Amino acid sequence: MNLSAVEEAVRREIGVRLFTVLAWLPGRRVLHRAHTSHPDQYPIGGEKSVEVAADWLDRCINRRQPFFGPDAESVRQVFADHALIAELGCGSVINVPVIGADGATLGTLALLDAEHAYGPAQVERAVELAALAAPALAELVQRLDDNKEDS
């Protein structure tokens, strides 16, 4: 399943205003944007490193646990781009890790919607849907690793 199809499944089953898939590149410790519903604001290929909160990174990447922020304040505390997120009408976030067949973290899905749009049931479903992104994300991470090794 490609990442656009994953976005469609998320829209249909959970609902989302802003959807992003980030690939985790452990060698460089960056999140590489692989897919987005808003390419003008969040271009494909953009990378996040220093602006990612350490506790968020530990939770989603290292411990492979979802992050749930139900309101605008929780978004402000974690994301450096919170002003743009608010401009897009988003104030609630679910980040879930995408885990590969070998158990490694391949990246994350980021679902954002209006403040208080999400709750525990949506987090649980997002965790289930994250598995749909694993094959496409594994392929991308492998390709980026191959490119890095060639340079």
Report which residue type is found at 29.
Answer: R
Decide if 33 contacts 144 (C-beta within 8 A). no
CA atoms within 13 A on the CB side of 23: 23
Nearest to 142 by CA among 38, 6, 34: 34
135: CB partners within 8 A, 6+ apart: 1
Provide the 3-class DSSP secondary structure of residue 55. helix
Per-domain boundaries in the chain: 3-144
pTM: 0.91
- Give the CATH architecture of domain 3-144: 2-Layer Sandwich (3.30)
Is the predicted pLDDT of residue 100 greater than 70, yes or no? yes
Please name every residue paired with 94 in a beta bridge, in sequence order, or none if there are none.
68, 111
Q: What is the pLDDT of residues 19-78, one digit of tens each?
A: 999 999 887 888 999 999 999 999 999 988 755 677 888 899 999 999 999 999 999 988
